[in-house]
Structure 1
């Protein structure tokens, strides 16, 4: 045996004996972590001297997969970050945990510097969403274009502010959804429109241009919209449906709009804010009924002018 190999073997053996002795003292008041760290350091140094620097991992054998295997050996157990650092053998272990959770769909809960794998079953849908978001993020064009692409690809599904910011590649990229709604009429819901959504969650109801909102919905401030919808229990005051009832009937293109009882569309732009936002003049309607009632109201006004 070469001198270096003999020296490495001796260091590993000495460290092993120290660890056995320390394990026998577990529970003693005078036992310290530093003693374990020194023994482990000696063992690690001996391994490096024996094998040389750690080689590049083969596919499927890297730090990420070592961490995953460790989680799978200890499901639903809290694991300290230092444990994962030791298992991974790299300083960037926390990034690998995030990759397992976000990119690969593993349900890993974090609490301070502790982590646990909640399920041995991977969330394939979350992993697919991450892959989709990355593909859209790499597209050329504006942040608004990429937000639009993600909303269209996930029509009917809830997306978060973080999702929209990520594909936009700009800080507060989630504001682009409001531009799509207010400037282009995309029927995008937030917690203001639907009680099943939390602040920072958004959902595109339909990507069909025929389902675009009344462009004058932008005239009503969010606080006014919220008050009207809450007062009317998020229910269309004409057909009596809410989202749950509409979906039970197979209508997945249902969403709410604010309807002004006395002013036709072309008059809304000129109304003073006090009259435009007067709660007694506003009512909750679904998009379908809003279109119909607005058309009927405008028809009556035309008939009145013609008759007058």
Structure 2
């Protein structure tokens, strides 16, 4: 098509747009009119540039969507806009990739509406995702891959989605709980640390000396949560919470449930009602719990020798 003819068609479309603007002002605009204009523009684009070809590397739909979001930081953009910019039906998938894999802080603000809150991506999050993707391709069991991933990200927050990617199963978080409850790994969740959201985890240490007390698996999460909330997530001996501990340089601080009055050497022999009596439960940090348990055993030894 000759340039003059193409320009004339664009002039016609521009006139239609102007008429639509008048209709909008008068409250008589119709959706089909906008659809017709969009179809006319699509036809001009096809005539000018031919059928859509595979984008060159670095110039695909994801990049176009990213650049559009970057041009509208902290503004609400719609799925319709992103679909038009990307030129694909799977624009929502590209948004998820930008958020999850590339670390962009994109939030949903409505039905198919988004806001990019910062032009600077979270590099740590992106690197975690890349690491998860790498480990997911390693041989071995789901648990072994999760162990490797948690050890590689010790001290940082990881998400259920990252765990599931590494594990290649939908129950990756269950394996995390097994590592915590059955093997004593000091893994925090939102139950232990109110700064974590549901579905977020943090392995505090790989040192066997920091493993959780074996008795902790006797307390279900809802019970632990109620005890910690009641005690304001604060150790009732040293009076520290996680913020105070970290400020003092203790990055291995975490909380455990403890009986104020010992009720048995083996908790598994105690009826659940007695074991879960809130009036006899108290929040202690792991270090103070170890000391209290050691002191109790020493008192028992002395009593037996008396």
Tell me what 1:67 maps to.
Answer: 65
Residues 171 and 291 of structure 1, relative CA distance in 2, 3 Å threshold: same
Residues 121 and 209 of structure 1, relative CA distance in 2, 3 Å threshold: same
Give the C-alpha shift of residue 130 in structure 1.
1.6
Residues in 1 aligned to 2:194 and 2:114: alpha-carbon distance in whole angstroms = 32
Map 1:220-235 → 2, pairs under 5 A: 220-235=219-234
Is the deviation greater in 269-278 or in 204-213? 269-278
Give the C-alpha shift of residue 188 in structure 1.
1.3
Residues in 2 aligned to 1:277 and 1:251: alpha-carbon distance in whole angstroms = 29
Residues in 2 aligned to 1:108 and 1:226: alpha-carbon distance in whole angstroms = 30
Give the C-alpha shift of residue 265 in structure 1.
7.2
Residues 247 and 15 of structure 1, relative CA distance in 2, 3 Å threshold: same
Residues in 2 aligned to 1:219 and 1:25: alpha-carbon distance in whole angstroms = 72
Residues in 1 aligned to 2:285 and 2:146: alpha-carbon distance in whole angstroms = 25
Give the C-alpha shift of residue 264 in structure 1.
7.5
Tell me what 1:45 maps to.
Answer: 46
Residues in 2 aligned to 1:231 and 1:122: alpha-carbon distance in whole angstroms = 37
Query: What is the total number of aligned residue pairs between the two structures?
Result: 298
Tell me what 2:290 maps to.
Answer: 291
Cα RMSD (Å): 2.3
Contact 1:181 1:187 in 2 (8 A): yes
Residues in 1 aligned to 2:190 and 2:89: alpha-carbon distance in whole angstroms = 40
Residues in 1 aligned to 2:91 and 2:129: alpha-carbon distance in whole angstroms = 20
Residues 258 and 212 of structure 1, relative CA distance in 2, 3 Å threshold: same
Tell me what 1:159 maps to.
Answer: 158
Tell me what 2:131 maps to.
Answer: 132
Map 1:66-215 → 2, pairs under 5 A: 66-110=64-108, 111-215=110-214
Residues in 2 aligned to 1:282 and 1:80: alpha-carbon distance in whole angstroms = 51
- Structure 2: any 5+ residue segments left out of the alignment? none
Map 1:246-265 → 2, pairs under 5 A: 246-263=245-262
Give the C-alpha shift of residue 302 in structure 1.
1.4
Is the deviation greater in 111-120 or in 248-257? 111-120
- Of 24, 27, 31, 2:21 maps to 27
- Of 3, 6, 12, 1:12 maps to 6
Q: Tell me the TM-score normalized by structure 1.
A: 0.87
Residues in 2 aligned to 1:145 and 1:22: alpha-carbon distance in whole angstroms = 63
Residues 129 and 296 of structure 1, relative CA distance in 2, 3 Å threshold: same
Residues in 2 aligned to 1:109 and 1:227: alpha-carbon distance in whole angstroms = 31
Contact 2:17 2:37 in 1 (8 A): no
Q: Tell me the TM-score normalized by structure 2.
A: 0.87
Tell me what 1:55 maps to.
Answer: 53
Q: Deviations over 1:126-179 (max 9, x none)?
A: 221221221122222222222222222222222233332232221232111110
Tell me what 2:276 maps to.
Answer: 277
Is the deviation greater in 227-236 or in 243-252? 227-236
Q: Deviations over 1:182-214 (max 9, x none)?
A: 110011122222222333322222121110011
Contact 2:260 2:280 in 1 (8 A): yes
Give the C-alpha shift of residue 10 in structure 1.
6.9
